[in-house]
Structure formats: structure tokens, C-alpha cells
Amino acid sequence: MLEDSYGRRFHYLRLSITEACNFRCQYCLPDGYDGPPNSAFLQLEEIQTLISAFAQMGTSKVRITGGEPSLRRDFCDVIAHAAATPGIERVATTSHGARLFKDGLRWADAGLDQVNISIDSLDPNQFASITGQDKLQQILKGIDLAVEAGIKVKINTVLLQDFNANRLNRFLAWLKKTPVTLRFIELMETGDHHEFFARQHVSGEPIRRKLIEEGWQPLLREKNAGPAQEYYHPDYAGRIGLIMPYSKDFCKSCNRLRVAANGKLHLCLFSEQGLDIRPYLAQGDVQGVKQFITEALSDKSVSHFLQEGKTGATRNLAMLGG
């Protein structure tokens, strides 16, 4: 099992397979994606080598992210490879969900267990204004289909002062009957968006207090769960989670490592640089990847230091997957 010098154990790989995205979220790629094509990013054989190496070191969960992972033509193959790797027990993806209705069942057939879909607003106009895409209804249809098909669905909602911070009741009304877990994520500062962050960042703490007041109860965290504290309520089909990266001790429960679509290992979402493992991946060298990662891990720092305004080399989260 991979362990760092602070005793944190890593059984969760977040693998970005592309930097490209066709949404233009105001806090991520407001001007759209203008980078290399998918052919420049990790290829299937490299991905296979990578996941095998991680699995042999105790990784049991892989999340396929991006950019927008469903923009890759071989997305189903990536899922299938991850699901077929001995030791990998759960395969998840994070997606904007625009292709969920059309392709979600094929993803599940390939071995996908869970989708996290990003929805920052349940108001179609506001959704379009945040993402640059008028696709909320299409995405909600995809979610209904995924839920019916038994795929575990989580929703990511980035808290934004001028958009959704005061719309808790609308989300609650939806969760009354919709069996998904919706996680409010505090906006994180990234290199491209210091001003947007200063205007829009809002703490999740008032929401947490309101939930407790209204009878929501905290759930125990599973072994390979993310950093969300989740809550349930007997009157609601859905659950709510809060991800508060600026809270004290947030990094103490860190259990994930990241590999960007260009084959760089990131010990933290906000590290200063990625460490290039692509030469090993290109050669199919599973042992080399394992050795590299084991040695690199001793340099993982105790915290992201985001609260000090240090955003590392991360200009936006499409670069390496949120």
C-alpha cells in the first residue's frame, strides 16, 4: 500500500484522460478549450500500464476525469481496461453529463460503477450562463436514466456567491425525490482565476449549519470515499455532501494521487509541478512506474496551502481533473 511520510494511505487514483472540454465554465475554461488534441494525451496502452502499476500498489478505485473524459472516442475502452484490472474494485468518472443520456448505458456495460455530474444550478438560464451550454434538461434526463439503470450518481455543485449560494431550497426540493448525492464544493482558487475567486468564493459552513438545523445527519465515511462530509435525512431520497478545501485539516484525510492526461504524476491538485512518468508508460514498464511513484511519494507535502493563496502550477482544473 502506498503511504506517505505523514501516514496517509493512497488507494484512489484520479486519472485525467484529456484536457479538452466543450463547456466554458466561468471558473475553469471561460474562453473555451484551445489546447492539444486528444491524440496528444495518454494512449490506451499507457493507461493500462498506469492502472496496473497503481493497482499492484493497493489502488482499488479509479476515477476517470478531464477535461471532459467523454470527449474521448475510446472512453468506453478506458473504462473497460480499468474495470478489468485485478485489484480495481470501483471505476468512476466525473463528467459534465451532456452525453450521459445517449451513452451512459454503454459506459455502465463497460464497467462504470459511478458517475459524478457537475450541475452548478437547477435554473436552466443560470446553468447556461455558468457553463456556456444550454444543456441542463438534457443532463437531467441522463441522470434519471442512470439512476433507473442502477448507476450510482453524485452531483458536483461548485458554490458561487452570485449564482447558487442562496438557492439551497431549490436543490433540496430536487433531492426530496431524486436519489443522488449532491456535494457542494467550495470554489478553489486557481492560477487563471484570482479575481473570479475573490468575487465568487463562499464558505460551505452556513449550508452545513442550516442542514443540521433542519435535521440532516452526518454519515460515516467509507474507506475510499472522497473528502466530502455527507448528510442524510429520512424525508429525502437524496443526500448532501460538503467539500470544504479551506477547512482546517482538509488534507489530513487525503487518499488520492493524480495523473494528468500528459502523463505527469501530481502529488497534490495544487502542486508546483507534475512529475513525468510518461517515459515508463510509453515502454509499458509497470515496475518502473511503481518505483517512481513510491520514491516520489516521500515528497508529498502535508497540505495544499491554498488557504495561503498558493495555487501551485494549476491554472484551471481542466488541466488535471478536478
Q: Does 182 engage in binding with ligand SAM (CB under 6 A)?
A: no
**Rounded to the nearest whole angstrom, what is the least distance from the CB of residue 92 to ligand SAM in the complex?**
11
Give the residue ranges of DSSP H helices in 88-154.
100-110, 124-131, 136-148
Q: Does 188 engage in binding with ligand SAM (CB under 6 A)?
A: yes
Q: Does 181 engage in binding with ligand SAM (CB under 6 A)?
A: no
Q: How far apart are CA 252 and CA 234, in angstroms?
A: 30
Position among 72, 81, 96, 239 found at the interface with ligand SAM (CB under 6 A): 96
Position among 27, 101, 171, 236 found at the interface with ligand SAM (CB under 6 A): 27
Yes or no: say if 20 and 40 are a contact pair by the CB < 8 Å rule.
Answer: no
Q: Does 318 engage in binding with ligand SAM (CB under 6 A)?
A: yes
Nearer to ligand SAM, 57 or 71 (CB): 71
SS3 184: strand
Residue list 31-70, contact with ligand SAM (CB under 6 A) = 65-66, 68
Q: Does 156 engage in binding with ligand SAM (CB under 6 A)?
A: yes
Stretch that binds ligand SAM, among 180-188, 221-229, 286-294, 296-304 (CB under 6 A): 180-188
Residue with cell 479509479: 62
Position among 115, 151, 187, 240 found at the interface with ligand SAM (CB under 6 A): 187
Residue with cell 501551485: 312
Q: Which long-range contacts (CB under 8 A, 24 or more apart) does 200-208 make?
A: 200/27, 200/160, 200/161, 200/162, 200/163, 201/159, 201/161, 202/159, 202/160, 202/161, 202/165, 203/244, 203/246, 204/159, 204/242, 204/243, 204/244, 205/244, 207/159, 207/168, 207/242, 208/242, 208/244
Nearer to ligand SAM, 52 or 93 (CB): 93
Nearer to ligand SAM, 2 or 97 (CB): 97
Yes or no: say if 117 and 136 are a contact pair by the CB < 8 Å rule.
Answer: no
**Rounded to the nearest whole angstrom, what is the least distance from the CB of residue 143 to ligand SAM in the complex?**
13
Q: Does 322 engage in binding with ligand SAM (CB under 6 A)?
A: yes
Site map (CB under 6 A) of ligand SAM, residues 258-297, x = contact:
----------------------------------------
Q: How far apart are CA 237 and CA 175, in angstroms?
A: 6
Q: Contacts with ligand SAM: how many residues (CB under 6 A)?
A: 20
Residue list 107-136, contact with ligand SAM (CB under 6 A) = 118
Yes or no: say if 14 and 268 are a contact pair by the CB < 8 Å rule.
Answer: no
Nearer to ligand SAM, 21 or 211 (CB): 21
Stretch that binds ligand SAM, among 54-62, 89-97, 174-182, 213-221 (CB under 6 A): 89-97
Joined together, the cell numbers standing for residue 97 give 453529463
Residues shown for the chain: 322
Give the residue ranges of DSSP H helices in 134-245.
136-148, 168-177, 194-200, 205-213
Residues of this chain that interact with ligand SAM (CB under 6 A) are 21, 27-28, 65-66, 68, 94-96, 118, 156, 158, 185, 187-188, 190, 317-318, 321-322
